[in-house]
C-alpha cells in the first residue's frame, strides 16, 4: 500500500504511460469482472437517468470504470498546477479584479483534487471548505493516506482549509473581505433541486453565501485530456442580477448540470458513503 500511495514512487513511470496502463486495466476489468458491472451501471443510471443520455448507461458505465482507474493513478502522482485556456484565465482574472469576494463552485468531477492549484495561478490564497474528515487524525490505512494526501495538496499550494460545519459566518466574512473561497456544489442538503432531470437534495449554501456577501460566483470544472489536467471556468454569475437564493441556485445548477452531462463518466458515484446512498434515476434523496 505504501508503494502504491507514495507520489515519488509513482513518478518513476512517465505520466503518459501510467495513464495508458490505467486505461488498459479499466478496460480489462470490465471484461474480467462482470460482477462489478452492475455497480458501475447503477452509479451511471443515478447520474444520467431521466436525462437525454439515459439510453447510454452501459456504454458510459464502461467509461466510468476506466475513468475510476485513471483518477486513482492521477491522485497518487505528483500534482501539477491545472492547465487553463485563455477564456478560463480571462474569466478568473475578471472575477478577481472585480474588487469583490470570489466564490469558486465545483463538483466532485474529474481530477478535482487539483483545485488547490488555482491559488498560485490567481496569485491569491484560496480557502477550501472541507468536511470533518479533513481535520481528523489519519488512521494507518488507505483512507488515512488519502486524507493526508489531500491536506498535503492544500498546503503545497499555500491554501487554507475551513471546517464545513458552522462555517457560514466565517466564509461570509472572508468573502466580504474580498477573499477567494472554493466550495463543492454537489453535496447533500435540505434544498430540493431539479438537477440532472430529477429531484436532488442539495445544499443552497453557495447561492446564499454569494447573496449575503455580494461575492461573484465562478463555476469550475476539472477534467483531463490524456494525462494532463485542465480547469474550465464559466463566466461569473453575479448575485446582483439574481433577486433571490433560489434564482441564483438554479442558475448555478444549470451550469454544473450541462458540464456533467458532457462528461458523466467523470462524476463520482453519488451513492458513495456519506452522500446519497439511495440515489437512482428517480432522484437523490437524503439518507434515512
Q: What is the mean pLDDT of each run of 10 residues along the chain (288 residues)?
A: 91 96 94 87 97 96 95 94 97 97 98 93 94 90 93 92 95 98 97 98 98 98 97 98 96 98 98 94 93
For residue 126, the model assigns a pLDDT of: 96
| Same-domain status, 119 and 143 | yes
Pair (110, 185) in one structural domain: yes
Cβ-based neighbours of 9, under 8 Å, separated by 6 or more: 3
* 34 and 158 both lie in a single domain: no
What CA–CA distance (Å, rounded) separates 112 from 119?
14
Distance CA 131, CA 108 (A): 13
Q: Provide the domain count of the chain.
A: 2
Our measurement of the distance from residue 157's CA atom to the centroid of its chain's CA atoms, rounded to an integer in Å, reads: 17
- The whole domain housing 61 covers 7-75
Which one of 75, 99, 133 terminates a domain?
A: 75
Do 132 and 164 have their domain in common? yes
What cell numbers appear for 158 in the block? 499555500
**pTM strictly above 0.75:** yes
If asked whether residues 69 and 139 sit together in one domain, one would say no
Dihedral sign for Cα 82, 258, 202, 176, please.
positive
- Structural domain contains residue 276: no
DSSP string, 257-281: HHHHHHSGGGBPPTTSTTS-TT-BT
Q: 237 in a domain, yes or no? A: yes
pLDDT of residue 94: 97
- In this prediction, residue 36 carries a pLDDT of 83
Does residue 282 lie in a domain region? no
What element of type H or E holds 128? strand 126-130
**CA 143 to chain centroid:** 18
Indicate whether 21 and 123 sit together in one domain.
Answer: no
User: Which residue in this structure is represented by grid cell 493513478?
Assistant: 73
Based on the fold, state whether residues 211 and 258 are members of the same structural domain: yes
Quick one: pLDDT at residue 287? 84
Does residue 164 belong to any structural domain of this protein? yes
Is 241 inside a domain boundary?
A: yes
Give a yes or no: residue 284 inside a domain.
no
Q: What is the C-alpha to C-alpha distance for residues 254 and 107, in angstroms, rounded to an integer?
A: 13
Instruction: Looking at the structure, tell me whether residues 69 and 101 fall in a common domain.
Output: no
16, 129: one domain:
no
Residue 263, C-alpha cell as written in the block: 462528461
Amino acid at each position: 500500500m505504501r508503494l502504491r500511495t507514495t507520489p515519488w514512487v509513482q513518478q518513476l513511470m512517465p505520466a503518459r504511460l501510467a495513464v495508458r496502463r490505467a486505461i488498459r486495466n479499466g478496460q480489462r476489468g470490465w471484461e474480467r469482472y462482470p460482477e462489478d458491472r452492475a455497480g458501475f451501471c447503477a452509479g451511471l443510471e443515478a447520474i444520467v437517468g431521466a436525462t437525454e443520455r439515459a439510453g447510454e448507461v452501459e456504454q458510459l458505465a464502461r467509461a466510468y470504470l476506466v475513468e475510476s482507474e485513471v483518477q486513482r493513478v492521477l491522485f497518487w502522482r505528483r500534482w501539477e498546477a491545472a492547465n487553463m485556456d485563455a477564456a478560463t484565465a480571462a474569466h478568473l482574472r475578471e472575477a478577481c479584479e472585480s474588487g469583490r469576494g470570489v466564490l469558486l463552485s465545483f463538483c466532485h468531477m474529474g481530477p478535482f483534487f487539483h483545485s488547490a492549484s488555482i491559488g498560485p495561478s490567481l496569485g491569491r490564497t484560496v480557502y477550501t471548505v472541507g468536511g470533518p474528515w479533513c481535520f481528523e487524525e489519519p488512521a494507518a490505512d488507505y483512507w488515512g493516506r488519502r486524507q493526508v494526501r489531500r491536506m498535503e495538496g492544500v498546503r503545497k499550494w499555500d491554501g487554507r482549509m475551513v471546517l464545513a460545519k458552522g462555517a457560514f459566518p466565517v466564509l461570509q466574512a472572508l468573502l466580504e473581505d474580498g477573499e477567494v473561497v472554493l466550495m463543492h456544489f454537489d453535496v447533500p442538503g435540505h434544498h430540493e433541486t431539479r438537477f440532472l432531470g430529477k429531484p436532488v437534495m442539495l445544499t443552497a449554501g453557495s447561492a446564499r453565501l454569494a447573496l449575503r456577501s455580494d461575492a461573484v460566483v465562478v463555476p469550475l470544472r476539472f477534467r483531463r485530456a490524456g494525462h494532463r489536467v485542465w480547469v474550465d471556468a464559466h463566466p461569473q454569475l453575479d448575485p446582483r442580477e439574481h433577486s433571490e437564493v433560489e434564482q441564483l441556485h438554479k442558475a448555478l445548477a444549470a451550469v454544473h448540470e450541462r458540464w456533467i452531462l458532457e462528461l458523466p463518466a467523470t462524476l463520482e458515484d453519488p451513492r458513495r458513503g456519506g452522500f446519497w446512498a439511495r440515489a437512482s434515476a428517480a432522484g437523490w434523496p437524503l439518507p434515512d
